[in-house]
């Protein structure tokens, strides 16, 4: 099984997440951009995900809801750059913290029949980055990446 590495260097507003998958870049990219596949891997396995909107193109918007544990969490953003099988640049916003927006760049390194995905998230401040980490995002990210790996293995 591949490991997910999450790095948040002290004093910086960045979070870097790296994961390798035993699948070609085209399949990984599709799993991250197909609104039919998103609910099958995104979020904790203890929650359900409803995709409200998912238009993967420059200027396109996305919105989804995680439900579980007696509550719901809404997220949304805008796609700024989309290069098939190579890169996505998007904003990310949690409705529970409406004043905080991060900018994420996802890159897909083609390793033949494997892919290394790197997500570089830039937060507005170190405090905003720290709040994201303290929210439990690490558990959700690791669970999502494991679920994505399972989906890609099918």
- pLDDT score at 30: 98
Contact 45, 23 (CB under 8 A): no
75/43 Cα distance (integer angstroms): 11
Expressed in angstroms, the distance from the first to the final Cα of the chain is 15
Longest CA–CA span in the chain (Å) reads 43
Mean pLDDT of 133-146: 93
**The pTM is what?**
0.95
32: phi then psi, degrees, rounded to nearest 5: -85, -10
| Contact predicate 143/45, CB 8 Å | yes
Q: What is the pLDDT of residue 74?
A: 96
Q: What is the pLDDT of residue 118?
A: 98
pLDDT at 151 over 80: yes
Homologous superfamily assigned to 28-153: START domain (3.30.530.20)
In whole angstroms, what is the distance from residue 96 CA to residue 48 CA? 18
pLDDT band for position 142 (cuts 50, 70, 90): very high
65-82 pLDDT, tens per residue?
999 988 999 999 999 999
Statement: residue 83 has pLDDT above 80: yes
Quick: pLDDT tens for 2-55. 899 999 999 999 999 999 999 999 999 999 999 999 999 999 999 999 999 999
Question: Which tokens hold the place of 81?
Answer: 């750059």
Domain edges within the chain = 28-153
Mean pLDDT of the chain: 96
């Amino acid at each position: 099984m591949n490991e997910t590495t999450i790095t948040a260097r002290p004093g910086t507003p960045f979070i870097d997440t790296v994961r390798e998958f035993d699948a070609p870049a085209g399949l990984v990219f599709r799993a991250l951009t197909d609104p039919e596949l998103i609910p099958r891997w995104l979020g904790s396995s203890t929650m359900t995900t409803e995709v409200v909107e998912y238009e993967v193109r420059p200027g396109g918007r996305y919105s989804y809801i995680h439900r579980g544990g007696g509550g719901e969490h809404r997220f949304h953003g805008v796609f700024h750059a989309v290069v098939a099988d190579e890169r996505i640049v998007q904003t990310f916003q949690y409705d529970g913290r409406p004043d905080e927006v991060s900018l994420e760049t996802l890159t897909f390194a083609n390793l033949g029949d494997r892919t290394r995905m790197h997500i570089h998230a830039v937060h507005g401040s170190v405090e905003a980055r720290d709040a994201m980490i303290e929210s439990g995002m690490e558990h959700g990210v690791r669970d999502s990446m494991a679920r994505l790996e399972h989906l890609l293995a099918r």
